[in-house]
Amino acid sequence: MAIVVENLSYIYLKGSPFERKALDNVNLVINQGEFVGIIGHTGSGKSTLIQHFNGILKPTSGKVIVDGIDTSNKGLKELRKKVGIVFQYPEQQLFEETVYKDIAFGLKQLNQSEDEIDKKIRKVIKIVGLDEDILEKSPFELSGGQKRRVAIAGILVMEPSILVLDEPAAGLDPKGRNEIFGFLQKLYNQTKITIIIVSHNMEEVAKIVNRVIVINKGKIAMDGSPREVFSNVSALENIGLSAPQITYLMKKLKKKIPDLRDDIFTVEEAKREILRYLKGGAHD
């Protein structure tokens, strides 16, 4: 198991007039090699939860164990080698004069040899889907999607076994969003490392993850496969969320065409289902 969360509660500003419980007795197991999407309203506790995964926050009560390391104890240096967290707008932390130097920064703190650093950088730049000629460019010459991938490369080059991303497509245009989510899907398919993304983009989460966790008011409200979670439209709506738009469309179509499945949550799956129906010799 990659991450075990036991009876986790977290209170901001405990003991002050502004005290607020952000997480309330959360129990959760994330297995090695899972691709997990965490969704919920702003303020639901999503970001608070993931900040416990590498010890940025420590439980008010309960415990978080990551790859055998209790995050409340010592050993955070080792923990942070295992868990790479990419926060919103990571490109704002790019600061070196070239992409190469920016990606190399973390490795240089580990006193690795220049040859080893070079080998790892050239490997990771391919993993994030960029050409090597970008390495000598200034990060500030790049598009938003390219900057985001360079920032992620700076985390991946440290070879974490768990990658956590908070709103990885925040602020990007549609092309940049497609690039980032496409890259994450390819990264998972190639490496099978544990990936956890926090996102409000239901369509993209539905398309790439194999497990969805819904958080509401500091508690886990739903936890299952994308099909299990997004098929339960009424439960999502009861907590103020929604299923992917394609799910609503398929439910409307099913009222007119009862033979259609409506437990569908991606455009690709909807296309296959409609083609299946048409090829099946639909009758008026």
pLDDT in tens, 186-222: 999 988 899 999 988 888 888 899 999 999 999 999 9
The residue behind tokens 């703190």 is 109
- In the chain, domain spans: 3-242, 244-284
Encode pLDDT of 130-159 as tens digits: 999 999 999 989 988 888 899 999 999 999
In the prediction, which pLDDT does 80 show? Answer: 83
Share of the chain above pLDDT 90, in %: 67
Within 10 angstroms of residue 232's Cβ, the number of other Cβ atoms is: 16
Residue 165, Cβ density class (10 Å: 0-12 exposed, 13-18 middle, ≥19 buried): buried
In the prediction, which pLDDT does 29 show? Answer: 97
Q: In which band, very low, low, confident or very high, does the pLDDT at 281 lie, cut at 50, 70 and 90? A: low
Query: Starting at the edge strand that comes first in sequence, how are the strands of the sheet with 3-12 ordered?
Result: 20-30, 3-12, 61-66, 69-70
What sign has the CA pseudo-torsion 178, 184, 189, 190?
positive
pLDDT at 282 over 70: no
The residue behind tokens 């103020």 is 240
CATH superfamily, domain at 3-242: P-loop containing nucleotide triphosphate hydrolases (3.40.50.300)
Q: Report helix, strand or coil for 154.
A: helix
Where is 220: in which H helix or E strand?
A: strand 219-224
- The per-residue pLDDT of the chain, averaged, comes to 91
pLDDT at 284 over 60: no
Share of the chain above pLDDT 70, in %: 99
